[in-house]
Structure 1
Amino acid sequence: MTASPVIVSCQDRSAVAQRAAGDLIAHIEGVPAGTAVHIAVTGGGVGIATLAELAKSPRLAEASPGRVHLWFSDERYVDAGSQDRNDIQAAATWGPGFVIPEANIHRVAGADSGLSAEAAATNYETEIGRAKAAFDVVLLGMGPDGHVASLFPGHPGVSDKRTGVIAVHDSPKPPPDRVSFTMPLIRSSDRVWVIASGAEKAPAVKAALSPASTAEDVPASAARGQLESRFYLDTESSSLLD
């Protein structure tokens, strides 16, 4: 069983980012001292804005950041330094003085590593296992088509039943090659928080919260956590909800 989604209403994109970042820090603060905290983060406009808010909060520096591990729920499979990568966009907001140690920021290998996307996915899955990373929070952005991570409607990856990490090819959104958490891995986490803003997301939000939707048609409709599921929405993205 997974938790039914709770809507967290925010005024605009900035408010979504601030609230989600604040709640992430509050979760870290609430975990007993000495316990590792594993959080999977996301890219996209509001996702990167959330990570920027996380980085600049003075509360994060006080919340034992050395025990926090950041993972990426998906990554564009391009060269390691490419500006298309989620980790590079995130690092640009964090800056060189980011309080979470670089060793605790777990990155997917780049296309210039000499590995195939499949091998990079396998290595990342192995790294998750080696770290014994039971995810406290998986933070996900959502596309206008209802995709989360790199799991797209009608695409083979969204139906993969393995609890792990997969290579995604021929993505309907460029770049075509990606590495992504599977839906079972997302759903195995304690908490899944979906963040969305903008009127263009409103139809997908409505579909993602409809009991009639399937993961194959609207992947975000299956993005649920074991203990908690949240949708952080601004006024525009929630405008079609009853």
Structure 2
Amino acid sequence: MAASYEPKMNGEIRIFESSDEIATDLAEYISQVSEISVKERGYFAIALSGGALVSYLWKLCEAPYNKTLDWSKWYIFWSDERAVAKNHADSNYKLTKEGFLSKVPILSGHVYSINDNATVEDAATDYEFVIRQLVKVRTVGVSESNDCPKFDLILLGMGSDGHVASLFPNHQALELKDDWVTYITDSPQPPPERITFTLPVINSASNVAILATGDDKANAVHLAVSDSSNSQDAPTSLPARMVQPTDGKLVWFLDSASASLLEATTDDAAYEQHREY
């Protein structure tokens, strides 16, 4: 059974007791977004992260989804990538291919990975160029509020420090307004060189989902979703807190451990009134 809270406008928090429950609900959620996107636009443009996130996509590789989803309309991107070879253990592409892409019939030509033969700066420039071309032909949508790409869904993991994609706390990359894709050479977590979507791109998506599990994420989750009027200790530069879709919806997928500090505050009417089982 999952508890569900809605602490912010266009936001929802889903809390689960097991990893199987998360995978089951996440598969249904992605399936629904996919079907709506294909029906409305003719395409489904999804951006993935690496880390633990991919391990929760296994339900999509099984019945009924492996047979019922219109995989030919899926277009795969990455919200961030490490500047390593595609066969490197740190590669988000490698992780996703082994855990997901090799198990579903997504067209290889619809998978847009980062150029691992270029410098990290050139790889970021190349990736933004590719996305701009796909926006021109509307394979990827365009935001009504700005000229940013409007991905149908961006799936993000969150680190214990509150980072999402490769946007880290207090990093200058958080301040970028015009770039769609940028690069960093000083990641506080190895490897140091990465490319990443910027906040304007993430916040322009139709749907954003953030997955966070484990008690080491509990404080960051609390700071990210707390109402600023009730939480004076919430840092304004926490990347996960800065994920606020302009015209889209944000859904958090949490386990009981990562949500433990939220559950401790359910006496707060802002949470209690939206608690459902």
Please list the CA deviations of residues 79-104 of structure 1 after superposition, one character each: whole Å capped at 9, or x if unmatched: 12212111101111136452111111
Aligned length: 236
Partner of 2:272: none
CA distance in 1, matches of 2:203, 2:219: 23
2:97 corresponds to 1:94: no
Matched, 1:14 2:7: no
Which 10-residue stretch deviates more, 97-106 or 145-154?
97-106
Cα deviation, 1:200-227, whole Å, max 9, x if unaligned, reads 11000000102434552x1001112222
Q: 4+ residue runs of structure 1 moved beyond 6 angstroms?
A: none
Asked if structure 2 preserves the Cα contact closer than 8 Å seen for 1:161 and 1:184, the reply is yes
- Alignment-derived partner of residue 5 in structure 2: none
Contact 1:3-1:224 within 8 A present in 2 as well: no
| 1:206 and 2:222 matched | yes
Q: In the alignment, which of 51, 56, 60 is matched to residue 50 of structure 1?
A: 56
Per the alignment, residue 156 of structure 1 pairs with: 172
Q: 1:163 to 1:142 in 2, by over 3 A?
A: same
Residue 66 of structure 1 corresponds to 72
Q: Deviations over 1:21-50 (max 9, x none)?
A: 2210122123317701101111111x0112
**Match of 1:175?**
191
- Output the CA distance in 2 between the equivalents of 1:92 and 1:63: 20
Match of 2:152 among 111, 127, 136: 136
Q: Distance in 1 between matches of 2:107 and 2:22?
A: 26
Runs of 5+ in structure 2 lacking a partner?
1-7, 142-150, 229-233, 266-277
Give the Cα separation in 2 of the matches to 1:24 and 1:78.
28
Greater C-alpha Rg:
2
Which stretches in structure 1 are left out of the alignment for 5+ residues? Answer: none
- Shift, 1:15, TM fit: 2.1
Matched residue type, 2:257: E
Quote the residue 1:118 is aligned against.
121
Mapped to 1, the partners of 2:108 and 2:63 lie a distance apart of 18
CA contact (8 A) 1:75 1:85 kept: yes
1:96-128 deviation per Cα after TM superposition (whole angstroms, max 9, x unaligned): 452111111110111xx1x22111011111111
Structure-2 separation of matches of 1:70 and 1:214 = 32
Alignment-derived partner of residue 43 in structure 2: 36
